[in-house]
Amino acid sequence: MVTVHYIVALQQGGIQTQQSTGDADSDIVAVAMQLASSGHTVTVYCDDTDFLNLLLFHRSQHMCDVFFWFEGNTRSRGKSISIRHLQTKLGYDVCQQLLVLHAVGGCDTTSSIFGVGKGTILTKLGSNTCMRSNIDMMQDYTNKFARLVYSC
């Protein structure tokens, strides 16, 4: 019940809230994308790089910018990353492959391949057109599977 009181207090203070009933990461990113689509610049405050991958994958070029803000450690200050800028730097094609790379490289729900981190996978992706083609195919099947699951 503490959560309900907290939500009510935020709403009374003029802060829009949403209670997640499913995967909070997906819900937070969905709200950020909805706001960016409707002309609002958005900042997502989080220390979880899963959000960074989701934001890079889901932000379309027609949307307002979305920023990913994460706190620094005790020796550094927090940092804000422009998703638009990072998408431009990485390339749209790479951003569309990030979810598969993220799953293969390890995330909240999957283990990584021993000794192979996300940086290694991303570097190999950049230099291997065959791997990019295979990732595209995996992404296509992942999208089809997600549509099938969510249409039930």
- What are 3-32's pLDDT values in tens digits? 677 888 888 988 878 777 777 888 889 999
14: left (phi over 0), alpha (psi -120 to 50) or beta: left
In the chain, what percentage of residues exceed pLDDT 70?
A: 70
pTM beyond 0.75: the answer is no
The token pair at 87 is: 């998408």
Tens of pLDDT, residue by residue over 81-97, are 999 999 999 888 788 87
Instruction: Sketch the domain layout of the chain as residue ranges.
Output: 1-91, 97-152
* Alpha-carbon span 146 to 23, nearest angstrom: 14
